[in-house]
Amino acid sequence: MDHVISGVAKFQKDVFPEKKATFQKLASGQNPEVLFITCSDSRIDPNLVTQTDPGELFICRNAGNIVPPHSNQTGGMTASIEFAVAALGVTHIVVCGHSDCGAMKGAINPEGLDNLPHVKEWLGHCRCATEVVKERRGEVTSEQLEEVTQENVIQQLQHLRTHPSVAAKLATGQVKLHGWVYNIGSGDVLCYDEANGEFERMSQAYAEQTLA
Protein backbone atom coordinates (compact mmCIF):
# COMPACT_ATOMS: atom_id res chain seq x y z
CA MET A 1 0.00 0.00 0.00
CA ASP A 2 2.93 2.34 0.61
CA HIS A 3 3.73 2.56 -3.09
CA VAL A 4 0.08 3.41 -3.84
CA ILE A 5 0.11 6.31 -1.40
CA SER A 6 3.48 7.53 -2.64
CA GLY A 7 2.12 7.25 -6.16
CA VAL A 8 -0.62 9.73 -5.32
CA ALA A 9 1.98 12.15 -4.03
CA LYS A 10 4.02 11.73 -7.23
CA PHE A 11 0.90 12.30 -9.34
CA GLN A 12 0.07 15.51 -7.49
CA LYS A 13 3.64 16.78 -7.61
CA ASP A 14 4.87 15.70 -11.06
CA VAL A 15 2.08 14.42 -13.30
CA PHE A 16 -0.85 16.73 -12.61
CA PRO A 17 1.08 19.98 -13.22
CA GLU A 18 2.17 18.76 -16.67
CA LYS A 19 -1.43 18.03 -17.68
CA LYS A 20 -3.14 20.72 -15.65
CA ALA A 21 -4.93 22.22 -18.66
CA THR A 22 -6.37 18.84 -19.62
CA PHE A 23 -7.63 18.14 -16.11
CA GLN A 24 -9.13 21.61 -15.80
CA LYS A 25 -11.04 21.00 -19.01
CA LEU A 26 -12.23 17.60 -17.78
CA ALA A 27 -13.28 19.08 -14.43
CA SER A 28 -16.45 20.48 -16.02
CA GLY A 29 -17.50 17.46 -18.09
CA GLN A 30 -16.60 14.46 -20.21
CA ASN A 31 -17.06 13.54 -23.85
CA PRO A 32 -15.64 10.04 -24.38
CA GLU A 33 -15.86 8.42 -27.79
CA VAL A 34 -15.58 4.82 -26.60
CA LEU A 35 -17.33 2.66 -24.01
CA PHE A 36 -14.67 0.13 -23.05
CA ILE A 37 -15.95 -2.98 -21.27
CA THR A 38 -13.24 -5.24 -19.90
CA CYS A 39 -12.30 -7.56 -17.06
CA SER A 40 -11.44 -6.45 -13.53
CA ASP A 41 -8.17 -8.39 -13.78
CA SER A 42 -5.35 -6.32 -12.29
CA ARG A 43 -3.08 -7.09 -15.25
CA ILE A 44 -5.17 -5.04 -17.67
CA ASP A 45 -4.87 -1.27 -17.98
CA PRO A 46 -7.22 -0.07 -20.75
CA ASN A 47 -5.58 3.34 -21.04
CA LEU A 48 -2.13 1.78 -21.23
CA VAL A 49 -3.12 -0.78 -23.87
CA THR A 50 -4.92 1.82 -26.00
CA GLN A 51 -2.52 4.68 -25.20
CA THR A 52 -5.42 6.98 -24.35
CA ASP A 53 -5.68 9.84 -21.89
CA PRO A 54 -8.23 10.55 -19.15
CA GLY A 55 -11.57 11.48 -20.68
CA GLU A 56 -11.21 9.35 -23.83
CA LEU A 57 -12.60 6.04 -22.56
CA PHE A 58 -15.71 5.40 -20.48
CA ILE A 59 -14.54 2.22 -18.75
CA CYS A 60 -16.69 -0.52 -17.21
CA ARG A 61 -14.92 -3.42 -15.53
CA ASN A 62 -16.17 -6.64 -13.99
CA ALA A 63 -15.12 -10.28 -13.64
CA GLY A 64 -15.25 -11.76 -17.13
CA ASN A 65 -16.04 -8.55 -19.08
CA ILE A 66 -19.68 -9.55 -18.87
CA VAL A 67 -22.69 -7.69 -20.23
CA PRO A 68 -25.85 -9.15 -18.70
CA PRO A 69 -28.73 -9.33 -21.18
CA HIS A 70 -31.16 -6.46 -20.73
CA SER A 71 -33.92 -7.01 -18.19
CA ASN A 72 -36.22 -4.93 -16.04
CA GLN A 73 -33.90 -5.53 -13.09
CA THR A 74 -31.49 -2.63 -12.88
CA GLY A 75 -27.81 -3.39 -12.36
CA GLY A 76 -24.61 -1.41 -12.48
CA MET A 77 -23.65 -2.61 -15.96
CA THR A 78 -27.09 -1.93 -17.40
CA ALA A 79 -27.17 1.59 -15.99
CA SER A 80 -23.61 2.34 -17.09
CA ILE A 81 -24.23 1.15 -20.65
CA GLU A 82 -27.40 3.20 -20.89
CA PHE A 83 -25.65 6.30 -19.57
CA ALA A 84 -22.66 5.93 -21.88
CA VAL A 85 -24.78 5.41 -24.99
CA ALA A 86 -27.87 7.54 -24.38
CA ALA A 87 -26.41 10.38 -22.31
CA LEU A 88 -22.73 10.61 -23.26
CA GLY A 89 -23.25 9.58 -26.87
CA VAL A 90 -20.34 7.19 -27.29
CA THR A 91 -19.99 6.01 -30.87
CA HIS A 92 -17.98 2.82 -30.29
CA ILE A 93 -18.34 0.01 -27.75
CA VAL A 94 -15.47 -2.41 -27.15
CA VAL A 95 -15.82 -5.67 -25.24
CA CYS A 96 -12.28 -6.77 -24.40
CA GLY A 97 -11.43 -10.18 -22.98
CA HIS A 98 -7.92 -11.32 -22.15
CA SER A 99 -5.60 -14.30 -21.95
CA ASP A 100 -5.38 -16.43 -18.77
CA CYS A 101 -8.75 -15.12 -17.58
CA GLY A 102 -9.70 -16.47 -14.15
CA ALA A 103 -13.38 -15.81 -14.80
CA MET A 104 -13.28 -17.97 -17.92
CA LYS A 105 -11.52 -20.71 -15.95
CA GLY A 106 -14.41 -20.50 -13.48
CA ALA A 107 -16.99 -20.64 -16.26
CA ILE A 108 -15.35 -23.80 -17.60
CA ASN A 109 -15.37 -25.41 -14.14
CA PRO A 110 -18.34 -23.94 -12.21
CA GLU A 111 -18.24 -26.79 -9.70
CA GLY A 112 -15.02 -25.26 -8.36
CA LEU A 113 -16.91 -22.10 -7.40
CA ASP A 114 -19.20 -23.62 -4.78
CA ASN A 115 -17.51 -21.51 -2.08
CA LEU A 116 -17.96 -18.35 -4.19
CA PRO A 117 -21.73 -18.34 -4.76
CA HIS A 118 -21.97 -14.78 -6.09
CA VAL A 119 -19.11 -15.36 -8.52
CA LYS A 120 -20.73 -18.60 -9.65
CA GLU A 121 -24.05 -16.88 -10.28
CA TRP A 122 -22.41 -13.97 -12.10
CA LEU A 123 -20.52 -16.32 -14.41
CA GLY A 124 -23.83 -17.85 -15.42
CA HIS A 125 -23.83 -15.05 -17.99
CA CYS A 126 -20.94 -16.89 -19.68
CA ARG A 127 -22.81 -20.17 -20.04
CA CYS A 128 -23.62 -19.50 -23.70
CA ALA A 129 -19.89 -19.36 -24.43
CA THR A 130 -19.10 -22.66 -22.71
CA GLU A 131 -22.12 -24.37 -24.29
CA VAL A 132 -21.10 -23.23 -27.78
CA VAL A 133 -17.58 -24.58 -27.30
CA LYS A 134 -18.94 -27.80 -25.81
CA GLU A 135 -21.25 -28.27 -28.79
CA ARG A 136 -18.38 -27.60 -31.17
CA ARG A 137 -15.76 -29.77 -29.44
CA GLY A 138 -17.85 -32.38 -27.65
CA GLU A 139 -16.55 -31.15 -24.28
CA VAL A 140 -15.23 -28.02 -22.64
CA THR A 141 -12.06 -28.18 -20.56
CA SER A 142 -9.18 -25.94 -19.59
CA GLU A 143 -7.60 -26.86 -22.92
CA GLN A 144 -10.25 -24.71 -24.61
CA LEU A 145 -9.61 -21.63 -22.44
CA GLU A 146 -8.62 -19.43 -25.39
CA GLU A 147 -11.62 -20.54 -27.42
CA VAL A 148 -14.01 -19.95 -24.51
CA THR A 149 -12.48 -16.51 -23.93
CA GLN A 150 -13.08 -15.55 -27.55
CA GLU A 151 -16.56 -17.04 -27.63
CA ASN A 152 -17.44 -15.18 -24.44
CA VAL A 153 -16.58 -11.88 -26.11
CA ILE A 154 -18.89 -12.78 -29.01
CA GLN A 155 -21.73 -13.69 -26.65
CA GLN A 156 -21.35 -10.47 -24.64
CA LEU A 157 -21.61 -8.51 -27.91
CA GLN A 158 -24.89 -10.35 -28.48
CA HIS A 159 -26.06 -9.37 -25.01
CA LEU A 160 -25.21 -5.74 -25.77
CA ARG A 161 -27.64 -5.80 -28.68
CA THR A 162 -30.51 -6.56 -26.27
CA HIS A 163 -30.08 -3.22 -24.48
CA PRO A 164 -32.62 -0.74 -25.89
CA SER A 165 -30.24 2.22 -25.97
CA VAL A 166 -27.66 0.17 -27.88
CA ALA A 167 -30.21 -1.39 -30.23
CA ALA A 168 -31.56 2.05 -31.14
CA LYS A 169 -28.12 3.44 -31.97
CA LEU A 170 -27.13 0.32 -33.90
CA ALA A 171 -30.30 0.57 -35.98
CA THR A 172 -29.41 4.12 -36.99
CA GLY A 173 -25.70 3.47 -37.49
CA GLN A 174 -24.64 5.72 -34.63
CA VAL A 175 -22.76 3.03 -32.69
CA LYS A 176 -20.30 0.33 -33.74
CA LEU A 177 -19.50 -2.78 -31.67
CA HIS A 178 -16.02 -4.28 -31.36
CA GLY A 179 -14.85 -7.56 -29.82
CA TRP A 180 -11.24 -7.76 -28.71
CA VAL A 181 -9.03 -10.22 -26.83
CA TYR A 182 -5.83 -8.88 -25.29
CA ASN A 183 -2.87 -11.24 -24.85
CA ILE A 184 -1.06 -10.24 -21.66
CA GLY A 185 2.16 -12.06 -22.50
CA SER A 186 2.63 -10.85 -26.08
CA GLY A 187 0.80 -7.54 -26.13
CA ASP A 188 -1.23 -8.67 -29.15
CA VAL A 189 -4.84 -7.59 -29.54
CA LEU A 190 -7.09 -9.90 -31.53
CA CYS A 191 -10.19 -8.37 -33.09
CA TYR A 192 -13.41 -10.17 -33.98
CA ASP A 193 -14.31 -10.07 -37.66
CA GLU A 194 -18.05 -10.66 -37.80
CA ALA A 195 -17.92 -11.29 -41.55
CA ASN A 196 -15.85 -14.45 -41.23
CA GLY A 197 -16.46 -15.25 -37.57
CA GLU A 198 -12.75 -15.21 -36.73
CA PHE A 199 -10.47 -13.29 -34.38
CA GLU A 200 -7.57 -11.69 -36.21
CA ARG A 201 -4.58 -9.69 -35.05
CA MET A 202 -5.27 -5.96 -35.09
CA SER A 203 -3.99 -4.50 -38.34
CA GLN A 204 -3.98 -1.28 -40.29
CA ALA A 205 -6.79 -2.71 -42.44
CA TYR A 206 -8.90 -3.23 -39.32
CA ALA A 207 -8.23 0.32 -38.22
CA GLU A 208 -9.20 1.73 -41.61
CA GLN A 209 -12.39 -0.34 -41.69
CA THR A 210 -13.28 0.77 -38.15
CA LEU A 211 -12.79 4.44 -38.93
CA ALA A 212 -14.59 4.28 -42.27
The Cα–Cα gap between 95 and 25 comes to: 28
The answer to whether the CB of 58 falls within 8 A of the CB of 84 is yes
Helix (H) or strand (E) holding 65: none
Query: Where is the binding site for Zn(2+), in residues?
Result: 39, 41, 98, 101
Residues facing 62 on adjacent strands: 39
With residue 9 as reference, give the H or E element that holds it.
helix 2-10
For residue 130, the tally of other CB atoms under 10 A from its CB is 22
Annotated binding-site residues read: 39, 41, 98, 101
β-partners of residue 96 are 38, 180
